[in-house]
Structure 1
Amino acid sequence: MFDTVHLTNMLRSEVEGIPETGLPLDAFPDKIQEIILNLARYENFNVEYTASIVLSAVATAIGNSCHIRIKGEWKTCPSLYMMLVGRPGLGKTPPLGFIYKPINEYDDRLHEKYNEEYDEYERAMSAGKHGSDGEEQLLKKPNFVTTVIYDSTPEAMMNIHQHNQRGITLVVDEILALFNSVKRYNSKNNLIEDLLTAYSGQPLKIIRKSESRPVLIKNPCINVIGSVQTNMLQEVFRAEFLANGLLDRFLFVYPKNRKISGWRREERNTARPDIMNQWRTIINRILSIPCILDDKGTTVNPRILTMSDDAEEYFYEWYNGIIDAVNAIENDADVESRKMKLNGHVARLALLFQVMKWATDSGDMQYIERDSVESAIRMIDYYEETYRRIQETIVINSIGETKEVWLSLLEERFTSGDAVIAGRKVDMSRRTVYYALDQLCRLKHPLIEKLQHGVYRKLMTENTDAPYTIALSSCQDTVQSSQSAKVQSATTLKSEDHE
């Protein structure tokens, strides 16, 4: 049966063109691959979104019940911050609702339990707090416990997490709504700082005048998943979120094929698999893993999974390759902070893959095995490639006529200082200039190349008309034919410089 499902998945993946997307679907256990492929067929879900949401949901279901030991005393829960990027109508929200449905059902059961306990509490309060023997009893007000939060203030979110030590997940239809809540609550909002702290596994301590006592979460486990439209990416990639490392903690899903699939009719008598029940069985098994607390109920004692010897050796060899590449960089400004977060991403994903194997009866939870680490690295390679394409999209969308003229003001070989001076002539800030230099070097078809620290060379010769416009035309639908007064002025300056 296993071989049949495995072979069938391979053939279906080839037919659906999944290898061309770059998504390593075969990294998932066969039963979960089958679910993802069936959702693509019967629900018209995008495979890349669906597979990634599966990881988010599994991370939510595990929560603080299991941690992975990365190195020494460095252990982490499997929480993920994930962003689904795409044009309107590409289908980001439907798979999110489907995949998270069993967890929402789990929350419904928690809510029913809370209502029963609260009704009992109110009856006892109205009876005068007395027991059957007539002695007064101290009654504890029940706490509302839930896992998935769709809309909440930062204060309420932390209160909910305090009462659900297993962990919580923020599911936001538009990720910008989450980021913009920072502005909504002004200086009182520490949401971004709390997310940074939680991701690092450090205790969250919230002290506010409105609270009768401080909120202390010793073992935070917060997942975040939301979507963003492609034309809003520049709002997400704001300098503040790049500087504080928030975006380094996000995994991005940006499908290569951005065309919306047409609907396919199924014959009415065609047998259809019970996809939801299959998926519910897997998630419920993961939710059944106990999240053990201490006697006070404030500290979790998770099951710690350690990598097997060959898995650890493979993991270290992979990460040492990144360390060697970083050590070879002389200028600190050229080091990408994102690369230094990849070890944590891979470890979390390796834990997810191992638990998924256990939940589908294709593995156990004695150790994190090598194939789980390999699967995690393949997924990170996929996410880093999507991140690179997002960066390329942002650059292409931001390079307008102003930046075209800025490039035209530069000689074929120029320094970063020359670029800053030219940038002033078209009102480009120093930060924007350095960002543009970096990103123009990273394009799939780079416009410039970095020869050495602070020295660049154009890769497009100036013996063609409007060379940079031509270079960009393949990525843009139209190119503006007229220049603004500022651009015309900058062009005049260039002519005067050559005279």
Structure 2
Amino acid sequence: MQSFDPELLPSNLRGWVVDIAHRMQCPPDFAAVGAVIAASSLIGARAVVQPKEFDDWQVVPNLWGLIVGRPGVMKSPALGEALKPLFHLQLAEFELHEAAHEAWTLDSKVAELASAEREKKAKGLASKDPAAARSLLIPEVVAAEPIARRFTVNDATVEKLGELLNANPWGILSYRDELYGLLTSMDKQGQEGARSFYLQSYDGNQSYTFDRIGRGTVHIPRICLSMIGGIQPGRVQEYVRGAVAGGSADDGLLQRFGLTVWPDTAGAFVHVDQWPDTAAKAHAWEAFKRLADLQPASDTEPQVWRFDPKAQALYVEWSTHLGQELKLGELHPAMEGHLSKYRKLIPALALIFALLENPDTQLIKEGDLLRALAWCDYLRSHAERLYSAATTPETGAAAGLLRKIKAGALIDSFTPREVAVKGWTGMPTPEAVRKAADLLCDFDWLRRDVIQGGAAGGRPSERYRINPSAKGRAIRAGLPD
């Protein structure tokens, strides 16, 4: 699994993200993914990339990210820091909207009084001069009620989210500190409509129509949603196993989280107490403000960006290689589905990087695409770790079993059945425990003893002995933390 290289980020975000990670003593992956998702949400559907030279297929750069980490590894604080520019933009927007709405309320009241006065005059003229009375009753044009632009939303029903997207057709970021609740809620019976809504919102350029008794019909011309949140390893492993086992969850929802990172968090902790790098922060926030001010080509059409000749040739080479790999059928179906979403992810990342570094050209350069392809390799390694919960479940179970051993939760010489009854994550059956324990035997953490039946016969039994040096020893390579 690849560690995060700060060079993956454009120069105007790099120093800021590195500073956040250093001060919080957490992997830079957390803040980096948060920053890229924040940028993608600000662009939304205002700009799109047309990856092919002649085909009119367009990619909207709204992306979804998932931060995987145990409690206490600072994933939420790092993510919150990366999203702060959006929170500040939202606060400023609410303040402007409050003033504008107060003015609109006063103007509406004045218009209402004027209308009442004209109606009074019209009554007096109705019998004498009907034409004049009719002209007095023509309503004056009143400005529409001002609507605040929404940058983020935290917890909203699908119906309310639809209303917000109807008022903000260029896109919104959905931020959930813990995404597990949202993911599992959409697996429940009766939530098929919500699941369909989220699936469609990932495209960023599709319409959606609600038909509800009481609410009537609500048509949304464009639903464009970016998404980011955190999740704990045990919960994501549980969800992955369910998502790839078939059924309603096996519909590509999980695979849409292209910016999923699950970094290692082991290593020495260093106490850091220093001022933030204000220059790096200002540089990054200026870039976010510029993206927030990005204007589409018209009220209904986005800017259309294309690859320059060198980037176009590179894209064709990469796209051809990806298509060939997917057609071979050698990948696990879950991983195959995940990589198929890179057809959107990579052009979208290239567009985001181009808008951050060369915002006025409407051309994506070779360097922008090379950076996106470097992200492709990095993210793929994390996706392989994510889906290993389903493709090689014994690896995650072995790591969990080892943690229990190190914590003293298991006595020496145990049987798989004794562990299975404890209900630990990833080890629901004796067979699952046996596979995990056998893997630990390969790494010399355990020794498997087969005890033959007694003089009266009987089936042999198996017990696992703990290596005395296991407790307190670091987890060896090959077993994820």
Normalising by structure 1, report the TM-score: 0.69
Task: Tell me, in whole angstroms, the C-alpha distance in 1 between the residues paired with 2:43 and 2:20.
Answer: 23
Tell whether the 8 Å contact from 2:2 to 2:382 is kept in structure 1 after alignment: no
Task: Tell me, in whole angstroms, the C-alpha distance in 1 between the residues paired with 2:213 and 2:157.
Answer: 16
Amino acid across the alignment from 2:384: R
Tell whether the 8 Å contact from 2:394 to 2:435 is kept in structure 1 after alignment: no
- Structure 1 or 2, whichever has the larger Rg, is 2
Amino acid across the alignment from 1:151: D
Task: Tell me, in whole angstroms, the C-alpha distance in 2 between the residues paired with 1:101 and 1:216.
Answer: 29
Task: Tell me, in whole angstroms, the C-alpha distance in 1 between the residues paired with 2:363 and 2:326.
Answer: 30
Instruction: Determine whether 1:41 maps to 2:22.
Output: yes
Amino acid across the alignment from 1:75: Q
Superposed CA deviations along residues 45-76 of structure 1, whole A, max 9, x for unmatched, are 43111111111011011112211012211102
Which is worse superposed, 121-130 or 151-160? 121-130
1:56-455 aligned within 5 A: 56-71=37-52, 72-127=55-110, 129-131=112-114, 134=118, 136-137=139-140, 139=142, 140-182=144-186, 187=190, 190-200=193-203, 201-218=205-222, 220-237=223-240, 238-239=242-243, 240=247, 243-250=250-257, 251-259=259-267, 261-266=269-274, 272-294=277-299, 300-329=300-329, 336-358=336-358, 364-393=360-389, 395-396=393-394
Q: How far 1:124 moved relative to its partner?
A: 4.5
Which is worse superposed, 326-335 or 26-35? 326-335
Tell whether the 8 Å contact from 1:65 to 1:302 is kept in structure 2 after alignment: yes
Which is worse superposed, 365-374 or 473-482? 473-482
How has the CA–CA distance of structure 1 residues 89 and 161 changed in structure 2, closer, same or farther, with 3 Å as cutoff? Answer: same
Task: Tell me, in whole angstroms, the C-alpha distance in 1 between the residues paired with 2:337 and 2:435.
Answer: 33
Q: For 2:13, which of 26, 32, 44 is the aligned residue?
A: 32
Superposed CA deviations along residues 431-455 of structure 1, whole A, max 9, x for unmatched, are x9xxxxxxx9xxxxxxxxxxxxxxx
Q: How far 1:104 moved relative to its partner?
A: 1.7
Which is worse superposed, 73-82 or 229-238? 229-238
Task: Tell me, in whole angstroms, the C-alpha distance in 2 between the residues paired with 1:77 and 1:63.
Answer: 7
Partner of 1:407 in structure 2? none
Counterpart of 2:376 in 1: which secondary structure?
helix
Superposed CA deviations along residues 250-281 of structure 1, whole A, max 9, x for unmatched, are 12111133457332244xxx895344333221
Task: Tell me, in whole angstroms, the C-alpha distance in 1 between the residues paired with 2:108 and 2:164.
Answer: 24
Tell whether the 8 Å contact from 1:45 to 1:94 is kept in structure 2 after alignment: no
Task: Tell me, in whole angstroms, the C-alpha distance in 2 between the residues paired with 1:181 and 1:60.
Answer: 24
Task: Tell me, in whole angstroms, the C-alpha distance in 2 between the residues paired with 1:375 and 1:212.
Answer: 47
Identity %: 19
Superposed CA deviations along residues 219-276 of structure 1, whole A, max 9, x for unmatched, are x32101000011111333223565101111112111133457332244xxx8953443
Q: How far 1:86 moved relative to its partner?
A: 0.6
Q: How far 1:137 moved relative to its partner?
A: 3.4
Tell whether the 8 Å contact from 2:48 to 2:303 is kept in structure 1 after alignment: yes
Tell whether the 8 Å contact from 1:396 to 1:472 is kept in structure 2 after alignment: no
Amino acid across the alignment from 1:52: V
Q: How far 1:392 moved relative to its partner?
A: 2.8
Counterpart of 2:58 in 1: which secondary structure?
strand
Counterpart of 1:203 in 2: which secondary structure?
strand
Counterpart of 1:75 in 2: which secondary structure?
coil
Q: How far 1:350 moved relative to its partner?
A: 0.7
Task: Tell me, in whole angstroms, the C-alpha distance in 2 between the residues paired with 1:114 and 1:175.
Answer: 30
How has the CA–CA distance of structure 1 residues 319 and 475 changed in structure 2, closer, same or farther, with 3 Å as cutoff? Answer: farther
Task: Tell me, in whole angstroms, the C-alpha distance in 1 between the residues paired with 2:23 and 2:396.
Answer: 38
User: What are the ranges of 5 or more consecutive residues in structure 1 without an aligned counterpart?
Assistant: 1-19, 295-299, 401-425, 427-431, 433-439, 441-465, 484-490
User: What are the ranges of 5 or more consecutive residues in structure 2 without an aligned counterpart?
Assistant: 119-135, 399-419, 421-425, 427-431, 452-457, 463-481
Task: Tell me, in whole angstroms, the C-alpha distance in 1 between the residues paired with 2:320 and 2:171.
Answer: 32
Partner of 2:412 in structure 1? none
Task: Tell me, in whole angstroms, the C-alpha distance in 2 between the residues paired with 1:203 and 1:118.
Answer: 29
Counterpart of 1:214 in 2: which secondary structure?
strand
Amino acid across the alignment from 1:353: F
Task: Tell me, in whole angstroms, the C-alpha distance in 1 between the residues paired with 2:193 and 2:366.
Answer: 39
Tell whether the 8 Å contact from 1:170 to 1:222 is kept in structure 2 after alignment: yes
Tell whether the 8 Å contact from 2:40 to 2:63 is kept in structure 1 after alignment: yes
Task: Tell me, in whole angstroms, the C-alpha distance in 1 between the residues paired with 2:180 and 2:449.
Answer: 33
Counterpart of 2:271 in 1: which secondary structure?
coil
Counterpart of 1:77 in 2: which secondary structure?
coil
Q: How far 1:21 moved relative to its partner?
A: 4.7
Q: How far 1:399 moved relative to its partner?
A: 5.0
Amino acid across the alignment from 1:66: A
Amino acid across the alignment from 2:253: L
How has the CA–CA distance of structure 1 residues 215 and 114 changed in structure 2, closer, same or farther, with 3 Å as cutoff? Answer: farther
How has the CA–CA distance of structure 1 residues 94 and 467 changed in structure 2, closer, same or farther, with 3 Å as cutoff? Answer: closer
Task: Tell me, in whole angstroms, the C-alpha distance in 2 between the residues paired with 1:476 and 1:252.
Answer: 32
Counterpart of 1:381 in 2: which secondary structure?
helix
Counterpart of 1:114 in 2: which secondary structure?
helix
Tell whether the 8 Å contact from 2:152 to 2:172 is kept in structure 1 after alignment: yes
**Superposition CA RMSD, Å:** 3.8
Counterpart of 1:210 in 2: which secondary structure?
coil
> Between Structure 1 and Structure 2, how many residues are aligned?
395
Superposed CA deviations along residues 123-178 of structure 1, whole A, max 9, x for unmatched, are 34545624499564364444343120011111111110111122111000000122
How has the CA–CA distance of structure 1 residues 264 and 128 changed in structure 2, closer, same or farther, with 3 Å as cutoff? Answer: closer
Superposed CA deviations along residues 272-312 of structure 1, whole A, max 9, x for unmatched, are 53443332211101111113543xxxxx3111000112111
How has the CA–CA distance of structure 1 residues 321 and 284 changed in structure 2, closer, same or farther, with 3 Å as cutoff? Answer: same
Q: How far 1:319 moved relative to its partner?
A: 1.7
Task: Tell me, in whole angstroms, the C-alpha distance in 2 between the residues paired with 1:94 and 1:358.
Answer: 30
Task: Tell me, in whole angstroms, the C-alpha distance in 2 between the residues paired with 1:480 and 1:75.
Answer: 57
Tell whether the 8 Å contact from 2:67 to 2:229 is kept in structure 1 after alignment: yes
How has the CA–CA distance of structure 1 residues 382 and 473 changed in structure 2, closer, same or farther, with 3 Å as cutoff? Answer: farther
Tell whether the 8 Å contact from 1:198 to 1:222 is kept in structure 2 after alignment: yes
Task: Tell me, in whole angstroms, the C-alpha distance in 2 between the residues paired with 1:332 and 1:471.
Answer: 21
Task: Tell me, in whole angstroms, the C-alpha distance in 1 between the residues paired with 2:251 and 2:346.
Answer: 21
Normalising by structure 2, report the TM-score: 0.72
